[in-house]
Structure 1
Amino acid sequence: MEARTEKITVADGTFDLHLWLPESGRGPAVLLVQEIFGVGPYIRKVAEDLAALGYVVGAPDLFWRLRPNWVADHDEAGVTASLELSSRFDVPQGVADAAVALAYLGGLPEAHGGSAAVGFCLGGSIAYLLAATVEVDAVVSFYGSAVPDATGMLEKITCPLLLVFGGSDPYIPRERVAGVEAAAARWPNVETHVAEEAGHAFLNEAPRFHHPEAARVAWERAVEFLGRHVPAVPRT
């Protein structure tokens, strides 16, 4: 699998877009939006999995203004440091960077057949807000903590949207997820999936977060959703 890093320049600097290509060499563009732990081993594994399905995957370094190419472990020190860093992160600016990265990714010669965004945790919030900001063919948001307070944005989202939550998430209480479900039910383009037994970041393979069965089911749902709305180029 080919991987490389592209440089994206905006008004106040330059940041990295980490890129993975499918075996076919081309496919729909998928913007993969990081957790607070950065574009680390888990996000890179997800990128490889998506590329293996036939997508051109780009993961932007959204913390570049604070700590370029930040990657943290999933231990107590890594969680503490990542939470501190994310507390200083400018979310609207992050959404703007993600929009630029999506446009750049979609303009690559390897990108063909539409575009999507997939985000986890912080990235789930960014992907959701991005869906209300730019034209994109599909968005998958995993446990975005900003979503419950921003259900009013759903009226601005016209693309197919899949919202995934853990039903036992201590950071996003179940009653708040229920509020998202109720709001989403009004919009035919929005689907929800709640893994009742899972907590926050349950797809992340770090032992402190991972719920293997819930992760398997949710990932299958996400892949099926992407396949319906942004089908990948078959392998040649």
Structure 2
Amino acid sequence: MPEITLDAADGAGRFACHLVLPKANPAPAVVVIQEIFGVNANMRAICDWVAAMGFIALAPDLFWRQQPGTQLDPDGGQGQWEKAFALMNGFDQDKGLMDIQTAITHARGMAGSTGKVGTMGFCLGGRMAFKAAQGTDSEANVSYYGVGLDGLVGAPLRGPVLAHIAEKDKFVPPEAQAAIKAGLDGNPLATVMVHPGVDHAFARIGGHSYDARAATIAGGRSAEFLVRHLGG
């Protein structure tokens, strides 16, 4: 499927987005937000899944300011993880959120778009999807095993968010999960879904922590959430 490039809002250059179109239009759009491994084969497969559900899928390269075109393998050994964590540690989240807003704005005005746009992110992308609910004009946001959400829940939400939490997430310990749930309790814009017995990245198909049951349940809830807020 095509790759498009967008101008960064701060004038720093242009960044690539992987684009997958649904069979029918007009359609709402979903900005798919990468893990720390870049817009790799897994993220592209998620874009295919999103498009198969009837949404325009657009995945921006958030690491373009450091290493454009990053595609790392989470099951490729320690070296791949070291590169991924180095990129994550060097990632400017404020500029990343700005790039996500650029992708949202582009998707809203695309030919064949209904103008409704949501986000869906995983791991680092799950954190950024939650930040998108606080700092962009997206109409729906799905966060899969977002890291560090306990430090974000104190800020108000601008748009609705569905947060998928893995009960055994080694990057989000029980005390952090409790803080997330407490911080969002009673917020009409927030839905928290805890998936029992699974680890971080339970929805990464083919990955070492993949759990088909939890991924299917989460996928169904995500689809319902996006359709409810974005339309079909």
Corresponding letter in the other structure for 1:57: A
Among 111, 128, 131, the alignment partner of 2:130 is: 128
Among 108, 114, 117, the alignment partner of 1:115 is: 117
Aligned residues: 228
- Give the Cα–Cα distance (whole angstroms) in 2 for the partners of residues 86 and 185 of structure 1: 29
Equivalent residue runs for 1:55-70 within 5 Å: 55-70=55-70
- Distance change >3 Å, CA 78–CA 159, structure 1 → 2: same
Deviation digits for residues 38-89 of structure 1 (CA, Å, limit 9, x no counterpart): 1111111111111011101100011001110100112222222111221111
Alignment gaps of 5+ in structure 2? none
CA positional deviation for 1:176: 1.1
- Give the Cα–Cα distance (whole angstroms) in 2 for the partners of residues 26 and 83 of structure 1: 38
CA positional deviation for 1:113: 4.8
8 Å contact 2:127–2:149 — kept in the other structure? yes
CA positional deviation for 1:177: 0.9
Alignment gaps of 5+ in structure 1? none
Corresponding letter in the other structure for 1:9: D
Q: TM-score if structure 2 supplies the norm length?
A: 0.94
1:225 has 2:225 as partner: yes
The CA RMSD over aligned residues, in Å, is 1.2
Among 2, 5, 11, the alignment partner of 2:3 is: 5
- Give the Cα–Cα distance (whole angstroms) in 1 for the partners of residues 62 and 194 of structure 2: 27
- Distance change >3 Å, CA 62–CA 170, structure 1 → 2: same
CA positional deviation for 1:207: 3.1
* Percent identical: 31
Q: TM-score if structure 1 supplies the norm length?
A: 0.93
- Give the Cα–Cα distance (whole angstroms) in 2 for the partners of residues 13 and 215 of structure 1: 36
8 Å contact 1:166–1:202 — kept in the other structure? yes
Q: Hey, what does 2:204 align to over in structure 1?
A: 204
1:102 has 2:104 as partner: yes
Report the secondary structure of 2:29's partner residue.
strand
Report the secondary structure of 1:16's partner residue.
strand
Corresponding letter in the other structure for 1:192: V
Equivalent residue runs for 1:34-73 within 5 Å: 34-73=34-73
Report the secondary structure of 2:217's partner residue.
helix
Runs of 4+ in 1 over 3 A off after TM superposition: none
Once the two structures are overlaid, the 10-residue window that deviates more, 208-217 or 64-73, is 208-217
Report the secondary structure of 2:19's partner residue.
strand
Corresponding letter in the other structure for 2:219: W
